[in-house]
Structure 1
Amino acid sequence: MNISLNSTHEQFVLSKIESGKYANADEVIATALQLLEEHDQYTLWLNDTRQKVAVGLEEIERGDVLDTEVVINQLKEKLLQKREAQK
């Protein structure tokens, strides 16, 4: 596959090669594509997280929440009961 770069992008690729970090244009492009793929994955994760946060905020507004102190105390009580049953 052949690609054409505008002068700005071409200079950027050449500067990366001249820096010594990359041996050739293929390495620069491969790294750029890898970063693009990682960005796409991050964007999917971010959108999913935003959706989950929105659902959580809606639940809070409706009052569909648990008091964490009550939940922790219930869990502690269950743990104590299990320990006592094992004795």
Structure 2
Amino acid sequence: MTEKISVSLTDEHARLLQDAVKSGDYASSSEVVREALREWKTRRLLGRMWDEGIASGPDEPNTTMDDIKVEARRRKTLV
């Protein structure tokens, strides 16, 4: 399902969008906007994850990256 939405852009942003399509990197301006929204969504998610990590406090002393990876894999298998 798609929804048609009208968006106003600055002249600079409109040129960037048009240039991306003219370069052949994108088939349409809608494709450029969809990718930008996906990246925005990912950046917001990473920001929330970062904030949660900081809020969780320091890890146990002497924890190595290997320890963290083992725990992450263990948790992944529980899902």
Give your verdict on TM over 0.5: yes
Mapped partners of 1:4, 1:33: distance in 2: 15
Which 4+ runs in 1 deviate beyond 6 A? 65-68
Q: Which has the higher contact order (CA 8 A, sep 6+)?
A: 2
In the alignment, residue 43 of structure 1 is paired with which amino acid? G
- In the TM superposition, residue 50 of structure 1 has moved relative to its aligned partner by 1.2
Q: Number of residues paired by the alignment?
A: 59
Structure 2 gaps of 5+ residues are 64-79
RMSD over equivalenced CA pairs, Å = 2.1
Distance 1:67 1:9, change over 3 A: closer
- In the TM superposition, residue 56 of structure 1 has moved relative to its aligned partner by 2.1
In the alignment, residue 56 of structure 1 is paired with which amino acid? P
- In the TM superposition, residue 4 of structure 1 has moved relative to its aligned partner by 1.1
Mapped partners of 1:24, 1:48: distance in 2: 37
1:16 aligns with 2:16: no
Match of 1:38?
42
Question: TM-score under structure 1 normalisation?
Answer: 0.60
Question: TM-score under structure 2 normalisation?
Answer: 0.65
- In the TM superposition, residue 28 of structure 1 has moved relative to its aligned partner by 0.3
Q: Pairwise mapping of residues 3-82 of structure 1 onto structure 2 (< 5 A)?
A: 3-52=7-56, 55-56=57-58
Indicate the structure (1 or 2) with the bigger Cα radius of gyration. 1
Between the two proteins, what is the percent identity of the paired residues?
Answer: 20
